[in-house]
Amino acid sequence: MKKCPVSQLDALFASVAARQKLYIPAGEAKTAAFQPWQEGMKLTDALNTVRSAKDLFFPQVENLVNFKVTGKQIEIIENRDPSEPFVVFGVRACDCRSFDILDKVFLCDPVDTYYKTRRENGVIMTLACTEPEETCFCTAFGIDPTDPAGDVSCWMDGENLYLRANTEKGETLLSELPMLSDGDAPAADKTVFDRLPLKNLPLDKFGGEHMMELFKYEKWAGLAESCLGCGACTFVCPTCQCYDIREFNTGDEIKRFRCWDSCMYSDFTLMSAGQPRPTQLERFRQRFMHKLVYYPSTHDGEFGCVGCGRCLQKCPISMNIVKVAKTLGEETT
């Protein structure tokens, strides 16, 4: 394990940024975001960014391909957004786990080459949590926020940043940083995590066995009742992966791009025959069934949620996966 005095953090960032683009969580607490590092930029006070680290690998809008029509000829023009090597620092354990989930979707056959390129180009430097929020419940999914994964895991105390390379990419990165010296992080104080109010989220009944029972569960109506059908929860979620493919006619050519979609939207997976989930109830159910039931049922019981708590903070009407899980869990246990 390596260390670097906190006072040298700027130098460390500068050194990383000299080789490739570096993103760090910065900005005011309520609008924190992963931003390209610049001289003088400080880490945010917020535990987590508003948008997750997912954005750097699976951006909200991404060009796919262009078409040009001349007479009766259609020309296909490659138009990928260029992807270059980058490092993202300060990813929390929850966001880091989301890449396991996203990888299983995007890297299985057929491979999503747009995502894959970014995954290959990106080095993830995680940062262990010391002061969780009341909305955190990553531990419910077996995540240890004090020992995050990633290419490089980091710990920070008042004096030092400790770094541990977990992968070859991580090793390479650390080897290029001259200000690092050897040193081990002190053992993490985990007591605060035991006090987290949501740590015992009942998840036993989810995962596929009770799929139809849960699907038909009558309390969905009450849960979905006041859902506004906005996409706030989906767009701040580190694991939501649905997108739509659209085209934009510039007059000269057609630009095909993809952008995030939300199962909460009334036109999600709209087909010529109509909307398969005609009311908000079905759409709402889809989102939570996907995270808690469908995904684990096809991925060895792994949940599609990492407990980052963003949706708890951002839902306009404070309806969220915890309330859903508790309502469903309580009835079926």
Q: Which residues 194-223 are close enough to bind another protein by CB under 8 A?
A: 195-198, 222
Decide: is 192 part of the binding site for another protein (CB under 8 A).
yes
Tokens of 213: 């029972």
> For residues 28 and 204, which CB has a smaller minimum distance to another protein in the complex?
28
Decide: is 158 part of the binding site for another protein (CB under 8 A).
no
Contact characters 57-96, another protein, x per CB under 8 A = ---xx-------x-x-------------------------
For the bound state, the minimum distance from the C-beta of residue 228 to another protein, rounded and expressed in Å, comes to: 4
For the bound state, the minimum distance from the C-beta of residue 62 to another protein, rounded and expressed in Å, comes to: 10
Per-residue H/E/C for the chain: CEEEEHHHHHHHHHHHHHHCEEEEEECCHHHCEEEECCCCCCECCCCCCCCCHHHHCCCCEEEEEEEEEECCEEEEEECCCCCCCEEEEEECHHHHHHHHHHHHHHCCCCCCHHHHHHHHHEEEEEECCCCCCCCCCHHHHCCCCCCCCCCEEEEECCCEEEEEECCHHHHHHHHCCCCCEECCCCCCCCHHHHCCCCCCCCCCCCCCCCHHHHHCCCCHHHHHCCCCCCCHHHHHCCCCCCEEEEEEECCCCEEEEEEECCCCCCCCCCECCECCCCCHHHHHHHHHHHHHHHHHHHCCCCCCCCCCCHHHHHCCCCCCHHHHHHHHHHHHC
> For residues 16 and 57, which CB has a smaller minimum distance to another protein in the complex?
57
For the bound state, the minimum distance from the C-beta of residue 244 to another protein, rounded and expressed in Å, comes to: 6
Stretch that binds another protein, among 87-95, 163-171, 178-186, 229-237 (CB under 8 A): 229-237
Stretch that binds another protein, among 119-127, 160-168, 179-187, 317-325 (CB under 8 A): 317-325
Contact characters 96-135, another protein, x per CB under 8 A = -----------------------------------xxxx-
Residue count, binding to another protein (CB under 8 A) = 63
For the bound state, the minimum distance from the C-beta of residue 230 to another protein, rounded and expressed in Å, comes to: 4
Decide: is 38 part of the binding site for another protein (CB under 8 A).
no
Strands 122-127 and 86-91, how do they pair?
parallel
Identify the sign of the CA torsion 310, 293, 61, 42.
positive
Decide: is 261 part of the binding site for another protein (CB under 8 A).
yes
Decide: is 16 part of the binding site for another protein (CB under 8 A).
no
At residue 311, φ and ψ (nearest 5 deg) are -65, -25
Which of 44, 160, 241, 320 is close enough to bind another protein by CB under 8 A? 320
Which of 2, 51, 97, 169 is close enough to bind another protein by CB under 8 A? 51
Q: Would you tell me which residues interact with another protein (CB under 8 A)? A: 28-31, 33, 45, 47, 50-51, 60-61, 69, 71, 131-134, 192, 195-198, 222, 225-226, 228-232, 234-236, 244, 246, 248, 250-253, 255, 257, 259-262, 265-267, 275, 278-279, 312-314, 316-320, 322-323, 326
